Amino acid sequence: MKARFALIIAALLAACSPAQGEDLVSGLSQDVIQITSNYTGTDIVVFGAIENRSVLAPNPADIVVLVRGPDVDMTVRKKERVAGIWLNNHGVVMEGVPTFYFLASTRPLNEIASKATLARYGIALENLEPRADSARTAAIAEPYVRALVRHKTLEGLYNENIAGVEFLSPALFRTRVPVPASVVRGQYNAQVFLFRDGAVVSAQSTPLFVDQTGLERRLFNFAHLQPLSYGIFTVLMATLLGWASSFFFRRNA
């Protein structure tokens, strides 16, 4: 009797559950960016589709795209006037600072989800909170973090594009991500979030690699893999070029 009752309850729960939840599929127009001597920046396209999209849902689905670059440790210093001279004085060491941060969404973030939900997933520059153990309290580190965000924004490395995600159809979407010439080499991650009713329904992450090629790549590898030989080579080259230039200038004189 108990076994039959359990089977009936299981069947009722299966019948009452939704047929299939919404899922997300996304990709990149290119997953490798090659930096050469004439590289001046490029754009990549993040695109995707919502599978099993619910057309009966009362509220629209929202997409948030977040492309984040390699995390590094960085020291931010405060300029202070000492004896009439402006000097870089007190500083805060921050760990896990993204070198690149781009965000695009279908509409303003405060209309998509609550501040707590956005902070949980690190969405929005205001939720960028690198570790700052050198500061005694979070309040002391806060102005340094904001200054870092302002500086990176002016350099074009941090960017928020509200309403930058375009729906091509009820299920297909895309957005363009500008990649400036000043980006560093390394692995980036393109994260796509599907929001429904203020909650993340699905998410997907795709790696993006920025690398050097050609002569720049060989010089970079030479400098980092054989630093002593690279130093000796540069000194010899500088000496040779200095001697050659002085020799030709003496002849012309």
Residues in the chain: 253
CB 54 within 8 A of CB 35: no
Is residue 12's pLDDT more than 50? no
Give the residue, 232 or 192, on which the prediction is more confident.
192
Amino acid at 52: N
Give me the pLDDT at residue 62, please.
94
Give the residue, 217 or 196, on which the prediction is more confident.
196
Lowest pLDDT segment from 56-60, 66-70, 173-177: 56-60
Contacts of residue 21, Cβ cutoff 8 Å, sequence gap at least 6: 52, 201, 202
Give me the pLDDT at residue 66, please.
97
pLDDT (mean) for 193-213: 91
User: Is the CA virtual torsion 162, 168, 169, 172 positive or negative?
Assistant: negative
Give the residue, 76 or 45, on which the prediction is more confident.
45
CB 139 within 8 A of CB 196: no
Lowest pLDDT segment from 21-25, 61-65, 217-221, 246-250: 217-221
Is residue 138's pLDDT more than 80? no
Give residue 94's pLDDT band: very low, low, confident or very high (50, 70, 90): confident
Query: 141-177, pLDDT tens digit by residue?
Result: 788 888 889 999 999 999 999 989 999 988 899 999 9
Give me the pLDDT at residue 5, please.
33
Lowest pLDDT segment from 17-21, 69-73, 198-202, 215-219: 17-21
Distance separating alpha carbons of residues 219 and 226, to the nearest angstrom: 10
Give residue 78's pLDDT band: very low, low, confident or very high (50, 70, 90): confident
Is residue 65's pLDDT more than 90? yes
Is residue 189's pLDDT more than 90? yes
The model's pTM is: 0.75
Is residue 11's pLDDT more than 60? no
What is the CATH superfamily name and number for domain 18-212? Macroglobulin (MG2) domain (2.60.40.1930)
| Block residue for tokens 């050469």 | 36
Contacts of residue 161, Cβ cutoff 8 Å, sequence gap at least 6: 102, 103, 104, 105, 175
Query: 204-234, pLDDT tens digit by residue?
Result: 999 999 987 766 666 666 677 778 877 887 8
Is residue 56's pLDDT more than 60? no
Q: What's the whole-number average pLDDT of the chain?
A: 81
